Amino acid sequence: MPFVKEKYHVSTPTPAFLFVMQHFHYTQGQAQRLLGKGRLLVNGKSLENSGALIQGDIEIVYFQPRSRGRAVLFQTPDFMIFEKPSGILVHPNTMATEYSMLDEIRALSGEHANAVHRIDMETSGLLLASKHKDAERFLKNAFEIKTIRKSYLAWVEGALTECFTVEAPLLKSNDYSQCKHKVTVDDRGKSAHTDFVPLEYHAGRDTTLVACYPTTGRTHQIRVHLFHMKHPILGDPIYGSTFETSDAYLEGRLSAKNRLTETGASRLMLHAHTLAFRYGADYFIESQIDFKQEMENICPKVKRSFNTASTQ
C-alpha cells in the first residue's frame, strides 16, 4: 500500500508545519496541505491546527510510491506520458487505495511529479504527467486555456454513419436518489462541445468505433454527449444503464457477468488516443494500444440484456 505510517519523536516544541517542512524538505504550502489532510497524528488523532506546537511521539502518514514497472511511453526532462489501463485510478482516492498511476509517476520522477489532467478510472489511454512544479503549472494552464488538444476513441451502441457535433451544456448533479447520472444535459450547465467521426461499424456486436474530439473539458463530457445522442458508450455503468445496474456498480455489487450483459461490455469502451501540445517544441503523441482489438470485450448484440430505449 503506497500510504505508510511512521513514528517520529520531536524533542523540543516545534510548530507542526515547520517539523514537516524540515523533515520532508517540503515548502510551507506542501506541509500545510499534508496537515490539512489529517496526516499528522498525535495520540492517534489527526492534528487540525498546522501551527500547533508538537512535542514527543507523533505519527505521520505519507505517500510512498510502489511501482509495478509500468513503462513510460514518451518522456522529456520536463514531462512524461503513460498508457493508463482501464480500471486504474490516476490519483489514490483514499489512503486504502493500493495502486494508482501516481505510484508510477512519483516512483520515476520524485515527489514533485504529478498528473496534470483527469482521466476517469475506467477510461484507458494517454496520461500526461509533469516531472517538476514548473512543468506542472505550465501544462495545467495549457489545459485550462485549451492549447492542449485531445482525441478519444469509443465503441458505442448502434450504427453511426455520419459525422456529427454535439453542443449541449452539462450540469453536475447533486441528487442521485432517482438517477445515478453524475452529469446531465441541462441549459443551466456549462457549455460543452464535442465533434464525432464514425470510423467503422460491426453488425454482430451492433457497435460503431467513433473518434471523439472534445473542444471543452467538462466532467464525463464524451460519455454524456454520446448518451444524449442515444448512442451510449458500451460498458458504461452510469450513462446508458438502468438505475439498478448503476446502483449495483457504484456499491460494488455488479458481477462481471452482469456487467457484460447489462452494460454491453466488460469495461468502459473509451480510450484517450492522442495528445497534441507545445512545450518548447510541438508534440503529437499517439497511443500505441490497438483499441480496435478491445471490441473483444463487447458482448454480442443477441446476448445483451439492455437497449437504449429502456435505460434511464
3-class secondary structure, 74 = strand
User: What is the C-alpha separation between 225 and 193, in angstroms, rounded?
Assistant: 9
Dist. CA 312–CA 227, nearest whole Å: 10
Picking from 139, 122, 75, 70, the residue whose alpha carbon sits closest to that of residue 101 is 70
Say how far apart CA 218 and CA 102 lie, in whole Å: 22
| C-alpha of 297 from chain center | 21
SS3 letters for 183-220?
EEECCCCECCEEEEEEEEEECCCCEEEEEEEECCCCCC
Phi, psi of 195 (to 5 degrees): -100, 140
Torsion sign (Cα): 119, 120, 121, 126: negative
Residue type at position 101: M
Task: Give me the residues paired with residue 57 across strands.
Answer: 9
Catalytic sites, residue numbers: 120
Cell, residue 177: 436518489
Cβ(103)–Cβ(127) below 8 Å? no
